[in-house]
Each structure stands twice: as structure tokens, then as C-alpha cells.
């Protein structure tokens, strides 16, 4: 009887549990939710963020100055009324101080024949000069051109500028390297891109009013770059500038390269490799380009 009683209790509990799991109307099947995969396939994909329109500017020539047509311009700087220029090619590389109005070379330091000079910048009374594949950054006294230090670095050297605190260097890739002026050690790297697309061949650099301007090698374009994000915030199209060279000089003239900025008067100077002219330009809306 004890066994029968226990069995009866188990049966009653089981029945109650079964009833509790069913819907009140057992003739209606409970609704079932759609599988997760079905739900995902029926949803609309999220809209892609719209690409930002990067403004493109043209130029107006304000003044034209003579420039040494034998100077393979790799770096250009304006300081205290003078132009400072780095010229490349093995056997022809140099550091120069140039009179803007006449293009006359006032001071020159020639590099060893095996060296190929690249970008320069002036920082705290020192001139920093890169080399292309030699892996050496030379540091000179600004006034005497006396060599006061040398730094070694891996890879190539292309352009060089500074933001008042750090040196900023390019190596032909899509990367800007922020370096310590005292040790030349890398402090950070910034990837340059335009709407998510890497911008490579960053060449001669100039820091202008909070932006890094970069010649894009083998083009007529200058990229205006945010130093914080690496985003291109504007393009300057200098197409046609080379055609303003005297006709006899156009055949030997190579790519646009060289940007200098006069902070006091806000003047912008540009030239190219083996160009016989240096141009002072004003950046204008694209539609105003000659």
C-alpha cells in the first residue's frame, strides 16, 4: 500500500507539471519566434557613412623669382628673409643659403659625393638635413653651416619639417614620423589618408598654420594634412605652374618639389627639381585658377 500510495502521488505531480507547461487552450499551438539567422537576413544593412568632400584649391601667382636651374630641389625653407635649400643627386648634393630676390647662392656646404641629400628644416638655430638612402640626418649650425651632430635612422629620408616641438619626417610612404629633435628618436607615427584611402609618396614637407603640407611625388598636388589625425583636409592643384617656366627650361625641369612659408607675411613659395623659377603663390578657390 505504501508503494501504491507513493506511485499515485508521483502520477498526480507529473500530471500537474504537464498541465503547467501547456497553454490554457491546448488546441492552439504556441507561437514560435523566427530563427536568429532569418531575423538577420531580413534586416536592412546600416547605411554607409557619406564620404567627406575634400576641398581642392587652385593658385594665383603673386611673384616670380630666379632659381638655380641646376638645383635638384629636395628641401626648401624660408627664415629671416633668406631661403635655405637642400639639393640632391650624388655628387651634387648641397645645403644652401639663397637670396630670394635674385636667386643668388650666398652660402653653400657641399656634401660628400656618395651622399644624396633630401629634406631640411630649421629648428632652434639648427638646420636638420636628411639623406635619401644613406640613413644619416646631418645637423648644422644655422649661421655657419658647421656640422654639429649626426643621427642615424633606418629606411629612406624624404621630407622634413617641424611643428615647434617635434620634427616631422616623411619617407615616401603614407606615414609621418614625429621625432625628438634631441635624439631623432620616433615619438609617434601618423598614417595619412583621404576618406580612408592611404596617401603615399609624401615628399617635401612644410608646416603651415597648423597643417602639414606635403608635395605628392610625381604629381602637381600638395596635400594639406591634419597633424593630429592624418586626414587630408584639402588639396592644392598646381597644374600648369611648370608651363610658366621659360620654354627653353621646360625640357629639363622635373617634378614639382619644394614648399617654403614666410610666417611673418604669410607668403608661400614653391618650386621644383631643376626649375629655373621659384613662385610665390596665393591659394585660391579652384574656379579662380588661371
- What is the mean predicted confidence (pLDDT) over 231-254? 96
For the record, the C-alpha cell of 51 comes out as: 564620404
Mean pLDDT (the chain) is 87
* pLDDT value of residue 51: 74
Closest CA to 61 of 270, 276, 272, 207: 270
Rounded (5°) CA angle 174-94-225: 25
* pLDDT value of residue 34: 44
The secondary structure element, H or E, covering residue 282 is: strand 277-285
In this predicted model, what pLDDT tens digit does every residue of 97-142 receive, in sequence order? 999 999 999 999 999 999 999 999 999 999 999 999 999 999 999 9
Closest CA to 281 of 194, 208, 201: 208
Q: Determine which of 46-55, 135-144, 177-186 has the lowest per-residue pLDDT on average.
A: 46-55
| Residue 135 region by backbone torsions, left for phi larger than 0, else alpha for psi between -120 and 50, else beta | left
Closest CA to 172 of 201, 192, 136: 201
277 alpha carbon, distance to own chain's centre? 26
Measured distance between the N- and C-terminal CA atoms of the chain, rounded to whole angstroms: 112
Closest CA to 258 of 239, 279, 240: 279
pLDDT at 249 over 50: yes
pLDDT at 29 over 70: no
Closest CA to 61 of 289, 280, 285: 280
Give the domains, in start order, of the chain with CATH numbers: 56-288 (2.130.10.10)
Handedness of CA 103, 109, 115, 120 (dihedral sign): negative
In this predicted model, what pLDDT tens digit does every residue of 199-226 receive, in sequence order? 999 999 999 999 999 999 999 999 999 9
- What is the mean predicted confidence (pLDDT) over 194-200? 97
DSSP secondary structure letters along 224-272: EE-TTT-BEEEEEE-TTSGGGS-HHHHTT---EEEEEEETTTTEEEEEE
> Can you list the positions of beta strands (E) in 51-125?
56-66, 73-79, 82-87, 94-98, 105-110, 117-123
109 alpha carbon, distance to own chain's centre? 29
Beta bridge partners of 202: 216
The secondary structure element, H or E, covering residue 4 is: helix 2-21
Q: Determine which of 22-31, 122-131, 140-149, 189-198 has the lowest per-residue pLDDT on average.
A: 22-31
- What is the mean predicted confidence (pLDDT) over 158-185? 98
Amino acid at each position: 500500500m505504501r508503494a501504491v500510495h507513493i506511485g499515485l502521488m508521483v502520477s498526480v505531480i507529473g500530471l500537474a507539471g504537464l498541465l503547467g507547461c501547456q497553454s490554457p487552450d491546448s488546441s492552439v499551438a504556441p507561437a514560435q519566434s523566427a530563427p536568429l539567422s532569418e531575423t538577420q537576413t531580413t534586416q536592412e544593412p546600416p547605411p554607409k557613412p557619406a564620404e567627406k568632400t575634400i576641398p581642392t584649391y587652385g593658385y594665383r601667382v603673386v611673384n616670380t623669382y630666379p632659381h638655380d636651374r641646376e638645383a635638384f630641389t629636395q628641401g626648401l625653407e624660408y627664415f629671416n628673409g633668406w631661403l635655405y635649400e637642400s639639393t640632391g643627386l650624388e655628387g651634387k648634393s648641397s645645403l644652401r643659403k639663397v637670396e630670394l630676390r635674385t636667386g643668388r647662392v650666398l652660402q653653400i656646404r657641399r656634401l660628400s659625393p656618395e651622399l644624396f641629400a633630401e629634406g631640411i628644416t630649421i629648428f632652434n638655430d639648427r638646420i636638420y638635413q636628411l639623406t635619401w638612402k644613406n640613413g644619416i640626418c646631418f645637423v648644422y649650425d644655422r649661421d655657419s653651416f658647421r656640422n654639429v651632430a649626426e643621427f642615424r635612422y633606418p629606411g629612406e629620408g624624404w621630407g622634413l619639417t617641424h611643428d615647434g616641438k617635434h620634427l616631422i619626417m616623411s619617407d615616401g610612404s603614407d606615414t609621418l614620423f614625429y621625432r625628438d629633435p634631441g635624439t631623432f628618436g620616433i615619438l609617434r607615427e601618423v598614417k595619412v589618408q583621404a576618406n580612408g584611402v592611404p596617401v603615399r609618396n609624401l615628399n617635401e614637407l612644410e608646416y603651415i598654420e597648423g597643417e602639414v603640407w606635403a608635395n605628392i611625388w610625381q604629381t602637381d598636388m600638395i596635400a594639406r594634412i591634419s597633424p593630429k589625425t592624418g586626414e587630408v583636409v584639402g588639396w592644392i592643384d598646381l597644374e600648369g605652374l611648370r608651363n610658366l617656366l621659360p620654354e627653353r627650361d621646360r625640357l629639363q625641369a622635373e617634378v614639382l618639389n619644394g614648399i617654403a612659408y614666410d610666417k611673418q607675411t604669410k607668403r608661400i613659395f614653391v618650386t621644383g627639381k631643376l626649375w629655373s623659377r621659384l613662385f610665390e603663390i596665393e591659394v585660391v578657390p579652384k574656379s579662380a585658377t588661371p
